[in-house]
Amino acid sequence: MVLRLSTLFLRTLREDPSDAEVASHRLLLRAGYIRRAAPGIYSWLPLGLKVLAKVEKIIREEMEAIGSQEVHFPALLPKEPYEATNRWAEYGDGIFRLKDRKDADYLLAPTHEEMFTLLVKDLYNSYKDLPLSLFQIQTKYRDEARPRAGLLRGREFIMKDSYSFDIDDEGLERSYQLHREAYVRIFARLGLEVVPVAATAGAMGGSKSEEFLHPTDIGEDTFVQSDGGYTANVEAVTTVVPPAIDFDGAPAAEIMDTPDTPTIETLVNHANSAVARADRGWTAADTLKNVVLAAVLPTGGRELVVVGLPGDRSVDLKRIEANIGTHLSVGGEVTVESATDEDLKKHPDLIKGYIGPGLSLDAAVLGAKGSTGITYLVDPRIVSGTTWVTGANVKGKHVFGLVACRDFCWDGVIEAVEVRAGDEAPDGSGPLRSARGIEMGHIFQLGRKYAEALHLKVLDHNGKLTTVTMGSYGVGVTRAVAALAESNRDGKGIIWPRNVAPADIHLVATGKGEEIFAAAEQLAKELEAAGLEVMYDDRLKVSPGVKFGDAELIGIPTIVVVGRGLAEGLLEVKDRRSGATENIALADAVERLRALVSI
């Protein structure tokens, strides 16, 4: 059925909405694909739903091609399964919770691991039923503290999530690879560049995880690559650890007066003017910076942690968040922020600007054996025998020559610092370079975490009960629409890839003569009969400039104009991708346009 702009539920906007932060957000609003309902929540209009359906179709086809079967779960879920896996508490403020009239607890599903697991448990009981792969395309809900960038980070979004069920780890590996290959095909068909990168499993758990990141400057994820082929989200990068140093014979550490040196810069300047060394000058890399952080637990509790790192490096809070859970023995997502003055008041042993692992050379302040009881974690570069200048926990004093594992120790090692361009790849494949990206997909080898919690077991080949091993695989469907709009645009509007555009042809009738609209009407019918999807701008008393502006904003890649050239039997065809314009004969238009849109 021809889409007629005279009746289509559509209003385009000439100006950018004031609350739209990124290009895709601005263009999807202006072109009439979505409308804001609340912060992070959007209504989908007819054109938006057409694009969304085509993205979903590609995903369905590729999932079915690997034998995955589609199901559909409710978004409103009971509390009990999430209690069994402890995620009711672990999610903290990140989920929407509600009660029914009988005071029973429910949540709006942020994801569906528990429900998939229970469904398979209900229906299957033998290894003969496996392997199994199930998927759904469904709305998810997460109470984002700061929803932003339109569809890229919302509170309500559509995701394809799928799960594999296997009898053993070898089966899981096969299922994982099938999904990985399907994801490569999905993004290739969408025309969306992605880079598969190693990732941390986070609160999901599991032994292996990869993200599919779309490179873009507006991305919230940072990833690294080497010329030798290493790729990883910075959260998953492991530091090349320097060798330990023999500290036998190292001179004793010494506490020195360092007045007015609360920063690394002032400390280095003072050391170079007052504490000469024979080999070279002091640098920030010689200092041990101790950063006090507050870990906000899923339960709402607040726990202080001190992280020691070389003074020439900065902390990366996202890397710390991805790795700190094991050190605090908590499940779920932990957020990390700088400690406040109120936090520090509770620990008078920590002197701001002069914090170190020891008050004196024989009295620990940080770590399990320290007077504060605060967990002390260090960057992997802090290895045995390395020598540091660090705070003495006395205002105006620092310790020079403090030796790791001789003069101080720590509770654990954590990947905590920003990964810099030029750092060595952990696999030895060369220096790293960094880029930004949007997470479009994430795949996990979950293992038995959820199956064990919910008692998903089947009889194995020997008739013994064994726990099923699972994989989890997600694609952001609404996020894909936004990423496509973000990466396929110019100064005039969106330029959709052909296979997701809301129509094949945007037909525009311009002029005052009835013959122009009659010819356009007939052409629209013939194109539709030939199997093409047509959007026809049949609006009367609308200027050519407005019609052309709307066509370029909406973004169908082929625009056909029936106008003054009709007197000579010609139509104007414009390719939004290249900007090229050509005239074609009306008599040949259907065949020419069919061939054009099949390219």
Q: Is pLDDT at 440 greater than 60 in this prediction?
A: yes
Three-class SS state of 443: strand
For residues 67 and 133, is the Cβ–Cβ distance under 8 A? yes
CB atoms within 10 A of CB 429: 15
Read off the pTM.
Answer: 0.90
Q: Is the pLDDT of residue 55 over 60?
A: yes
Question: Residue 131: is the preceding peptide bond cis (ω within 30°)?
Answer: yes
CA dist., res. 507 & res. 520, Å (int): 7
Q: List 148's β-bridge partners, or say none.
A: 153
Which amino acid is present at 592?
Answer: R
pLDDT tens track for 284-294: 999 999 999 99
Residues 346-393 pLDDT 10s = 888 888 999 998 755 556 777 766 777 889 999 999 999 999 999 998
Structural contact between residues 204 and 444, judged by C-beta atoms closer than 8 angstroms? yes
In angstroms, the CA 106 to CA 98 distance is 5
Whether 361 and 328 have beta carbons less than 8 Å apart is answered as no
CB–CB of 40/155 below 8 Å? yes
Interatomic CA distance for residues 33 and 17, integer angstroms: 14
Candidates 522, 525, 527, 547; CA nearest to 537 is: 547
> Of the given ranges (34-38, 357-361, 392-396), which has the lowest mean pLDDT?
357-361
> What pLDDT is stored for residue 204 in this prediction?
57
Distance of CA 152 to the CA centre of its chain: 9
- The answer to whether 572 and 551 have CB atoms below 8 angstroms apart is no
Beta pairing partners, 560: 507, 573
Pairing mode of beta strands 254-257, 288-296: unpaired
Q: Distance between the two ends of the chain, CA-based, in angstroms?
A: 23
pLDDT of residue 338: 93
- CA 325, 323, 382, 400 torsion-angle sign: negative
**Is a pLDDT exceeding 60 seen at residue 466?**
yes
What pLDDT shows up at residue 349?
Answer: 84
Question: What pairing do the DSSP bridges indicate for beta strands 132-141 and 41-44?
Answer: unpaired
d(CA 79, CA 142): 15
Report yes or no: 24 and 483 within 8 Å, Cβ to Cβ: yes
Cα 157 from Cα 154, distance rounded (Å): 6
Residue of 228, 197, 202 whose CA lies nearest to 435 = 197
pLDDT tens digits for 63-120?
999 999 999 999 999 999 999 998 998 888 889 999 999 999 999 999 999 999 999 9
Whether residue 187 is predicted with pLDDT greater than 80 in this model: the reply is: yes
- pLDDT score recorded for residue 331: 66
CA 153 to chain centroid: 9
With 80 as the cut, is the pLDDT of residue 299 above it?
Answer: no
